[in-house]
């Protein structure tokens, strides 16, 4: 004679079918259902959505029914429907070459200062470098650059491009660069103390790279300031793991690497 108890079930949510399903399109701003985190959609797959707040912090939430609030109302986020497929892109943003077979290596080379620099360049530009047949090697410090350039013996068709950390006017690095630069040697640099700083803070979920007092080793100072319980190698693996595309890197590095690739693959 009587209907079901009105207090039975989940009375906090509307009945099934009354909660709108909203595609989790990039830049859509929502809150989690408990109102503890508000952010814009930056990624979505079939099981979860990633939100980024205004401080650059990211959190991953499952795509549960009524799991989010949009303008204060409960919604169910769903994976957006795939649109027409465009050309595949590499991590550097270039058009990916499907079925790529690496080209025979050119005589021209790109040198970077250390193994971390080489790993970052490989992760973002590796596809492009294999298309062009360019090998990247590392110096383990800029002091040996004059001897390396002399041994390499650059000439037209055998160019040398070099990426240097903290290349600023008046520095030791700038003086060495001036000694070796020429028609077939291009030395460019970024302003960062270390290649770590070329990764955007938001990719790591931190507001900014910390200032490290003079006299304190930079990497160790950064790790201490951020409260990471890692040694430098573990910290670098953590940083590199958060880099997925060129959008995670600062423009000051992007432009310099692209310049080097153009230089060593040019016809001059």
Tens digit of each residue's pLDDT (9 = 90 or more) over 204-243: 999 999 999 989 999 999 999 999 999 999 999 999 998 9
Query: Burial code of 33-46, b = ≥16 C-beta within 10 A, e = fewer?
Result: beeeeebebeebee
Q: Which residues contact 245 (CB under 8 A, 6 or more apart)?
A: 91, 92, 93, 124
What pLDDT was estimated at residue 13? 47
Residue with tokens 């690739």: 261
Query: Which residue in the block uniquely carries the two structure tokens 């460019």?
Result: 188
pLDDT at residue 51, as a whole number: 87
Confidence label for 166 from pLDDT (cuts 50, 70 and 90): confident
Number of other CB atoms surrounding residue 149 within 10 Å: 21
Query: Residue 40: what pLDDT?
Result: 87
Asked whether the predicted pLDDT for residue 177 surpasses 50, the reply is yes
User: 90-94, 97-101, 153-157 — which one is most confidently predicted on average?
Assistant: 153-157
240-257 exposure pattern, b = at least 16 Cβ within 10 A, e = fewer: beebeebebbeeebbebb
To the nearest whole percent, how much of the chain has pLDDT over 90?
42
Residue 74: CA count within 13 A, CB half-sphere: 15
Q: pLDDT exceeding 70 applies to what percent of the chain?
A: 84
Mean pLDDT of 160-165: 91
- How far, in Å, CA of 175 to CA of 245, rounded? 33
Looking at residue 259, what is its pLDDT?
A: 93
Structure confidence at residue 155 (pLDDT): 92
Question: CA 182, CA 257: separation in Å to the nearest integer?
Answer: 18
| 124, 44, 238, 251: CA torsion to nearest 10 | 40
Q: Which residue has the higher pLDDT, 3 or 115?
A: 115
CA 185 to chain CA centroid, Å, is 28
**8 pLDDT tier (thresholds 50, 70, 90):** very low
CB atoms near residue 221 (< 10 Å): 16
Output 120 or 57, whichever has higher pLDDT. Answer: 120
Inform me whether the pLDDT recorded for 103 exceeds 70: no
* Residues in contact with 195: Cβ distance below 8 Å, sequence separation at least 6, in sequence order: 113, 114, 116, 117, 120, 165, 253
Residues 255-267 have pLDDT tens digits of 999 999 999 988 5
What pLDDT does 71 receive? 80
Read off the pLDDT of each residue in 145-166 and give the average, rounded to a whole number.
90
Q: Does residue 19 have a pLDDT over 80? A: yes
Per-residue confidence (pLDDT) for residue 101, from 0 to 100: 52
Q: How far apart are CA 159 and CA 108, in angstroms?
A: 5
Q: Which residues pair with 58 in a beta bridge?
A: 52
Tell me the C-alpha to C-alpha distance, in Å, between residue 90 and each of 45, 93, 102, 207.
Answer: 19, 5, 15, 27
Q: Provide mean pLDDT across the span 179-200.
A: 92
Kindly report the pTM of this predicted structure.
0.63
Residue 210: the pLDDT is 95
Task: Report pLDDT for 9.
Answer: 42
């Amino acid at each position: 004679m009587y209907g079901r108890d009105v207090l039975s079930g989940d009375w906090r949510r509307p009945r099934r079918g009354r909660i709108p399903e909203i595609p989790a399109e990039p830049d859509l701003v929502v809150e989690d259902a408990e109102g503890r985190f508000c952010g814009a959609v930056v990624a979505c797959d079939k099981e979860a959505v990633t939100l980024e707040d205004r401080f650059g912090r990211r959190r991953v939430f499952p795509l549960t029914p009524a799991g989010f609030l949009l303008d204060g109302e409960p919604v169910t986020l769903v994976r957006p429907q795939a649109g027409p497929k465009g050309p595949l892109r590499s991590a550097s943003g270039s058009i990916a070459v499907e079925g790529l077979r690496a080209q025979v290596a050119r005589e021209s080379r790109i040198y970077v200062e250390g193994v971390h620099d080489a790993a970052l360049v490989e992760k973002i530009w590796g596809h492009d470098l294999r298309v062009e047949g360019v090998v990247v090697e590392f110096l383990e410090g800029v002091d040996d650059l004059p001897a390396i350039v002399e041994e390499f013996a650059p000439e037209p068709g055998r160019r040398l491009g070099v990426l240097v950390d903290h290349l600023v006017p008046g520095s030791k690095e700038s003086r060495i660069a001036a000694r070796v630069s020429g028609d077939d040697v291009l030395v460019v640099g970024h302003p960062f103390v270390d290649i770590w700083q070329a990764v955007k803070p938001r990719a790591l979920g931190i507001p900014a790279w910390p200032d490290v007092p003079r006299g304190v080793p930079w990497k160790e100072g950064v790790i201490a300031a951020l409260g990471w319980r890692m040694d430098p190698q573990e910290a670098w693996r953590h940083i590199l793991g958060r880099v997925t595309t060129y959008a995670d890197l600062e423009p000051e590095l992007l432009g310099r690497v692209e310049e080097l690739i153009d230089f060593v693959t040019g016809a001059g």
